[in-house]
Amino acid sequence: MIDITKLLENSKGLDGWRMTEKATASYELFFVHKQLETVRATDTVDTSVTVYVDHDGKKGDSTFAVFQSMTKADAEKKIATAAARARLVFNEPYALPDADTLNAELPTNMKDADPKTLGRRIADAVFAADTVEGGSINACEIFLYRDTLRVRNSRGVDKTQRLWRVMIEAIPTYTTEKESVELYEDHRFTFFDPAKVTAEIAARMREVRDRSLAVKPAPMTVNVLLRPLEIYLLLCDLADDLHYATVYSHANLHKVGDDLQEGGDGDKLTFSLKSVLAGCERSTYFDADGCALRDTCLVRDGVVADNFGSSRYGQYLGVKEPSGELPFCVSAAPGTLRKEEAEKEPYLECASLSGLQVDLYNDYIGGEIRLAYYFDGEKRIPVTGISMSARLSEVLAHLRLSDSVCLDGAYEGPDRLLMRGVSVL
Amino acid sequence: MPFSSYLNGKRADCKALVESLSKHFRYVSILGTDVSATVIRADRKSSAVQEGRGECGFVIKMHDGRSFFEYSLDDISGDKETLAARIAEAVRTDESLAGKMISTAALKDEPLSQDYARETDFSRYSDAQLLDICKELSGALLAKDEHVLNAICMIQPYTVSKLFITRNRELSQHYGWANGFLVAVYSDGKLVQARHVEGDDQLSRVIDGLKAHTDSVIDLAKHLTTATPIEPGIYDVITDSSITGLIAHEAFGHGVEMDQFVKDRALAKHFVGRYVASPIANMHDGAAAAHSVASYFFDDDGVLAHDTRIIRDGILEAGLSDLASAAQLGTEPTGNGRRDSYKRKAYARMTNTFFEPGSDKLEDMIASVKHGYMLFETNNGMEDPKNWQIQCTAEYGIEIVDGKLTDHYVSPVVMSGSVPELLKSISMVSDSFKVIGAGMCGKGYKEWVRVSDGGPNLKVRVKLG
């Protein structure tokens, strides 16, 4: 492949550049029931270049892709086109990150594993959970990735990190004479623990059996318990509103100092975005600009404490030390809700939602429930075929967070969040 | 713009690699892709002119007489025997899995050589012209009302070149599509976003459509600031084309993707030939079924585009398949094998999915509703092909009282419930028809492809929350 950086250095009229290369090698297994339908492998590189042109007191930029197939003439033409495009763009000036270097690996225990052997071991761990009578794993896709990410810029940034990650998509299914039901489950990790994979999928197998027994309850207003995935999604939606770019474009609902739980009597919410979370595939040491990342507490005791985002938008907002474009690795503080306290009154614990809908603008939170457990004060009854909805502001004001915590994918924090008085139909 | 000169130059390389790999596999196909996209955007404070998500590379599909293998790479230059050996080794399995490989019939490789193209007007517009249009429209939105905090105009043209080669088949296709977006961030006691989307293979029509909707975007924003939550309940509902498309796509489209039949993940497998919808409901999917964003000439398995009638007069007639699922089911593929990019696997995917128009007038449909809502604009949806539950979110609804649309807006509106109950509740179908091609569709939570959906207005009875 041609040396793009040399061409960029020799191009006239550029005031800076950034180049991002992501090389990915993958090994992928696709099972239909317990049989292997397709085996895939990939060996690809994504390269993108951004050029910067300072003009008329403003800064223009334009990004283009570089393909392996390109000739020197192709690349020179792309650079010239991007430079011309950058001159059409009149953005407020900002500084590119200063020189900094890094060559690092994100923590993993899969670095030295042969992909074919590791793929088989992961498949064994998945199907070891297929032990529930009447149950089966009707489909399973296993993706093993090795990513090498390198970011360079014209000011001397040169950072590389390597990441080994796995994604498993498994479909636990339970079939009776009357019907067949399924749940969707995906697992993403950078540390392979076969026992953990088997245990998590086995738990899902038991839940899908419960789904086959689930009944549709009468409409009710009830306390609802969210599990880690949905807590994570809720916090991500709150975080999204606090991005520097959202603030800069006047699209943010909340600003620093706003009390998200005004008038509330629940646990106070405190959560941060972190650059690295143990075992999380979103972890990264630097962002797309090559900037080091600063873990940032966005909400402390229910009050918006900070914003986050890229160096460029941080500079626009006058932030002295922008956080960098943090990944959505969410760390939340535990609350005070004990299991015994939650069980003092009936609740609905959501085990599987088709998706949590959070709309900050319309003060809404809700979703279609595929499997939940209704605790009536004495026993847990599996329920399905219902949806829930509530005012987000009321949920936030009165929420309770468990005192027990978990580490689950891109989330660490309380393993249950209780929403009071949710309408279930 | 013509077909990719790069891919044209790779035809001989593809054929040579097919020959070399044929020593290892019984069936070999190579799909070469060269997709370029441009994003032109302006808002109150910033602008951008840059490349969007494109791709350029190759994916090789192989079948050994039993199972499928794929390999994705950026370039196929160099010694083909060496490359073929590298690919064969890369897709080898651990020995203990070799006995678990699935067994399907050998794949057909029917001879065909054809070049397809559909012209766009993209080359008539320079970057500077498109950026000026975006700035003008952003400025026009900002000038309309002091409550507009920000206004975004974005135009995204993209062009696709694909080359498909097997021993007996050599196909190429070239086409383009463009989307345009207007978004107003508006605050008047309540912060809202109102948007309008256009899509066409002619930029001139996209631009005209955007220009014609600046007033309606601001009007919608004003109304959204007054929108209230809906009282959950079961209502008579009239859908706009976007929501009709959402129902077609989420309620039933995903459920007839036949790779789900293979995995016993779709209830529809057991309902072919049976009533699944009202007798006045007719539904199609196909790259050749409508002119929109997913109107290609052949799919990523090299199968020519189809028009598949999924539901005829309420009866489920057929599903959608890629090469692998058709091989396992013993059916003919329907031209629905699609990839997120050359780096990803082909799955059975929707293309342009819609209900056929009927004979009712929209005004009669609204007049027939004592109390209900007309729903507008897709926000998102989630399918459940196994258990036929749906959840679809509309951006907003307008209350209908005594057969008349009121000024009462509700937002957002989540439509949920049982698929057959929803489809069997279709009681009126309008004579209008619109397919909207600005969306992306995932399979589960990944594998994004461009799709369109739509149709006429429907009258249904459904749970809203």
Instruction: Kindly report, residue by residue over A336-377, the tens digit of the pLDDT.
Output: 999 999 999 999 999 999 889 898 988 999 988 999 999 999
Q: How far apart are CA A97 and CA A312, in angstroms?
A: 9
Report the domain count for chain A.
2
| Residue B382: per-residue pLDDT | 76
C-alpha R_g of chain B: 24
Pair A152, A300 in one domain: no
Report percent pLDDT > 90 for chain B: 88
Single residue among A164, A198, A213 that ends a domain in this structure:
A213
For residue range B450-463, list pLDDT tens digits in order: 999 999 999 999 99
CA angle A168, A172, A173 (to 5 degrees): 150
Which contiguous run of DSSP H or E holds residue B207? helix B203-211
What is the CB neighbour count within 10 angstroms for residue B305? 21
Instruction: Indicate whether B399 pLDDT > 90.
Output: yes
Q: Which of A41, A250, A388 sits opposite B185 (nearest CB)?
A: A250
Backbone phi, psi, residue A180, to 5°: -130, 130
Residues of B in contact with A181 (CB under 8 A): 386-387
- Residue A47 pLDDT greater than 90, yes or no: yes
Q: At residue B250, does pLDDT exceed 90?
A: no
Residues in chain B within 8 Å Cβ distance of A115: none
Mean pLDDT score, A75-81: 95
Same-domain pairing of A360 and A345? yes
| Average pLDDT value for chain A | 95
Q: Which residue of B has its CA nearest to A355?
A: B382
- Nearest one of A29, A392, B260 to B268, comparing CA atoms: B260
Same-domain pairing of A226 and A209: no
Check CB contact under 8 Å for B391 and A82.
Answer: no
Distance between B127 CA and the closest CA of chain A, angstroms: 7
Name the nearest CA neighbour of A423 among A215, A222, A226.
A222
For chain A, percent of residues with pLDDT exceeding 70:
100
Inter-chain CB proximity A184 and B97 less than 8 Å:
no
B387 — alpha (psi -120 to 50), left (phi > 0) or beta? alpha
Of the candidates B74, B267, B328, the beta carbon closest to that of A68 is on B74
Cβ-defined contact of A362 to B414 (cutoff 8 Å): no
- Tokens 């998200």 correspond to A260
Cross-chain Cβ contact A355/B391 below 8 Å = yes
pLDDT band, very low/low/confident/very high, at B183 (cuts 50, 70, 90): very high
Residues A65, B56: C-beta atoms closer than 8 Å: yes
The pLDDT score that the predictor gives to residue B438 is 80
Tell me if A387 and B96 make a contact (CB, 8 A cut-off).
no
Give yes or no: residues A207 and A310 share one domain. no
Q: What is the pLDDT of residues A19-45, one digit of tens each?
A: 999 999 999 999 999 999 999 999 999
Interface-testing mutation among A40, A120, A353, with chain B (most B C-beta atoms within 10 A)? A40
Q: Are A286 and A324 in contact (CB under 8 A)?
A: yes
Contact check, Cβ <8 Å, B382/A355: yes
Contact (CB<8Å) A250/B465: no
Query: Is the pLDDT confidence value at A1 over 80?
Result: no
Per-residue model confidence (pLDDT) at position B387 = 79
Three-point CA angle A144, A148, A152, nearest 5°:
160
Same domain, A247 and A111: no
Angle between the A72-88 and B127-144 helix axes, to the nearest 10 degrees?
Answer: 30
Same domain assignment for residues A364 and A243? yes
The reply to whether A177 and A301 lie within a common domain is no
Q: Which residues of A touch B48 (CB under 8 A)?
A: 61-62, 89
What range does the domain containing A183 cover?
4-213
- For residues A142 and A119, the answer to whether their CB atoms sit within 8 Å is yes
Which whole number is the average pLDDT over B192-207? 96
Q: Closest to B465 (Cβ–Cβ): which among A40, A69, A387? A: A387
Query: For residues B227 and A301, what is the distance between their CA atoms, to the nearest angstrom?
Result: 31
B306-347 pLDDT, tens digit per residue, is 999 999 999 999 999 999 999 999 999 999 999 999 999 999
Listed range (A83-92, A348-357, B206-215, B274-283) with the worst mean pLDDT: A348-357
HEC states along chain A?
A: CCCHHHHHHHCCCCCEEEEEEEEEEEEEEEEECCEEEEEEEEEEEEEEEEEEEEECCEEEEEEEEECCCCCHHHHHHHHHHHHHHHHHCCECCCCCCCCEEEEEECCCCCCCCCHHHHHHHHHHHHHCCCCCCCEEEEEEEEEEEEEEEEEEECCCEEEEEEEEEEEEEEEEEEECCCCEEECCEEEEECCCCHHHHHHHHHHHHHHHHHHHHCECCCCEEEEEEECHHHHHHHHHHHHHCCEHHHHHCCCCCCCCCCECCCCCCCCCCCEEEECCCCCCCCCCCECCCCCECCCEEEEECCEECCCEECHHHHHHCCCCCCCECCCCEEEECCCCECHHHHCCCCEEEEEEECCCEEECCCCEEEEEEEEEEEECCCCEEEECCEEEEEEHHHHHHHCEEECCEEEECCEEEECCEEEEEEEEC
Mean pLDDT of B282-308: 97
- What's the pLDDT tens digit per position in A320-331? 999 999 999 999
Nearest to B188 by CA among B155, B156, B218, B151: B218
Residue B252 in this model has a pLDDT that exceeds 90: no
pLDDT band per the 50, 70, 90 thresholds, residue B41: very high
A69's CB contacts (< 8 A; 6+ apart) are B6, B56, B74, B75
To which residue do tokens 């459904």 refer?
B462
- For residue B64, the Cα-to-chain-centroid distance in whole angstroms is 32
Q: Where are the beta strands (DSSP E) in B43-133?
A: 47-51, 55-63, 68-73, 112-117
Q: What is the pLDDT of residues B147-163, one digit of tens each?
A: 999 999 999 999 999 99
pLDDT for B1 beyond 80: no
Distance from CA of A241 to the nearest CA of B (A): 12
CA distances to A256, A365, B379, B395 from B411, in Å: 27, 12, 11, 6
Contacts of A341 (CB under 8 A, 6+ apart): none
Cβ(B419)–Cβ(B251) below 8 Å: yes
Q: Is A37–B67 a contact, with Cβ atoms under 8 angstroms apart? A: yes
Residue B416 confidence (pLDDT) above 90 = no
pLDDT in tens, A50-61: 999 999 999 999
B110 Cα to chain A: minimum distance (Å): 22
Tokens of A181: 């039901």
Contact: B412, A359; criterion CB under 8 Å: yes
- Please give the average per-residue pLDDT across B65-75, as a whole number: 96
ipTM of the complex: 0.95
Percentage above 70 pLDDT, chain B = 100
Answer yes or no: do B90 and A43 touch at CB < 8 A: yes
Report residue B241 as tokens.
């084309």
Distance CA B238, CA B428 (A): 9
Residue pair A198/A126 in contact by the 8 Å Cβ criterion = yes
Query: Would you place residue B251 in the very low, low, confident or very high pLDDT band (cuts 50, 70, 90)?
Result: confident
| Predicted confidence band of residue B236 (pLDDT cuts 50, 70, 90) | very high
Nearest CA-CA partner of A331 in A392, A268, A409:
A409
DSSP-assigned beta bridge partners for residue A50: A18, A63
Q: Are residues A318 and A356 in the same domain?
A: yes
Preceding amide of A322 cis, omega within 30: no
Q: Which of A64, A119, A388 sits opposite B50 (nearest CB)?
A: A64
Domain-by-domain residue ranges, chain B?
5-36+51-117, 233-464
**For B85-116, what is each residue's pLDDT tens digit?**
999 999 999 999 988 999 999 999 999 999 99
B350: left (phi over 0), alpha (psi -120 to 50) or beta: beta
Which pLDDT does position A51 carry in this prediction?
98
> A311: buried, middle or exposed (CB in 10 Å: 19+, 13-18, 0-12)?
buried
Same domain, residue pair A28 and A137: yes
Q: In A, which residues are within 8 Å of B6 by CB distance? A: 69
The answer on A198 and A291 residing in a single domain is no
Which of A139, A216, A144, A233 has the alpha carbon at shortest distance from A183?
A139
C-alpha distance from A63 to closest chain B C-alpha (Å): 5
pTM of the model: 0.95
Minimum distance, in Å, between the CA of residue A115 and any CA atom of chain B: 9
Q: Are residues A41 and A134 in the same domain?
A: yes
CATH number for the domain including A161? Answer: 3.30.2290.10
> Which of A183, A213, A243 delimits the end of a domain?
A213
d(CA A397, CA A10): 58
Residues A125 and A245 in one domain: no
Q: Which of B267, B86, B83, B297 is nearest to B176 (CA)?
A: B297
User: Which pLDDT score is estimated for B156?
Assistant: 97
Q: Are A89 and B48 in contact (CB < 8 Å)?
A: yes
What pLDDT shows up at residue B232? 85
